[in-house]
Amino acid sequence: MLGFYFSPIGRITRKAYWLKYVIPLVVVTLASGLADQFFFPEMLLSSDTGPVSAILNLVLLWPTIAVTTKRFHDRNMSGWWQLLFNAGIGVGAFMVGMAIGAAGGDPEALSQQELPMLLGGMAVILAAGGIELVLLGFLPGTKGRNDHGDDPLNPAKDVADVFS
């Protein structure tokens, strides 16, 4: 079980990705947000990130990289692709932050000059995140063996296993 979360080697199915990673991640993230709001309302680092969420993000950094890498491997893609998608999401978040910062921190006070940057940043986030979600969460993996290992749905049988 630890190999699932900590080893970036091999391949995982969509089912394992959703049931063992995405759904638990959503539950734990929501719980940490609630814990921050309930136990540390005065310590929120931003509107919704407090100490529990910050620690959780650090703890989950490597498992996120490992699981995502294995899902890319199932699609016969390098795990380095996640760097491209995360960079896109980061650029979009930077654009949104710049637009809101230029408006004095009030999203409702956006001028005609900041609005395109805000919308553009949101479009970049949605595009990069959406493409990654479709690739990892909805498209099937490579059938049979690929550059990253055996098909997790139909692992190759060893010759000794076939004739035993």
**Model confidence pLDDT, tens digit, residues 127-160:** 999 999 999 999 999 999 999 999 999 887 654 5
pLDDT at 2 over 90: no
Domain annotation covers residue 160: no
Report pLDDT for 163: 55
Domain annotation covers residue 57: yes
Residue type, 126: L
Number of structural domains found in the chain? 2
Q: Measure the CA–CA gap between 138 and 132, rounded to whole angstroms.
A: 10
Q: Are residues 90 and 134 in the same domain?
A: yes
Domain annotation covers residue 51: yes
Structural domain span for residue 115: 80-141
The tokens for 47 are: 């509107």
Burial class (CB in 10 A: 0-12, 13-18, 19+), 8: middle
Q: Are residues 40 and 102 in the same domain?
A: no
Q: Are residues 89 and 32 in the same domain?
A: no
CB-based burial, 79-104: b 16+ in 10 Å, e otherwise: bebbeebbebbeebeebbeebbeebe
Q: Measure the CA–CA gap between 158 and 164, rounded to whole angstroms.
A: 10
Q: Are residues 58 and 120 in the same domain?
A: no
Q: Are residues 35 and 93 in the same domain?
A: no
Q: Are residues 56 and 96 in the same domain?
A: no
Domain annotation covers residue 161: no
Domain annotation covers residue 148: no
Domain annotation covers residue 163: no
Last residue of a domain, one of 43, 71, 99: 71
Domain annotation covers residue 50: yes
Structure confidence at residue 113 as a pLDDT band (50, 70, 90): confident
- Answer whether 0.95 is exceeded by the pTM: no
Q: Are residues 38 and 91 in the same domain?
A: no
Report pLDDT for 45: 62
Tell me if 57 sits within 8 A of 28, measured CB to CB. no
User: Alpha helix (H) ranges present in 17-142?
Assistant: 23-39, 51-59, 61-74, 81-102, 114-133
146 bridge partner residues: 149
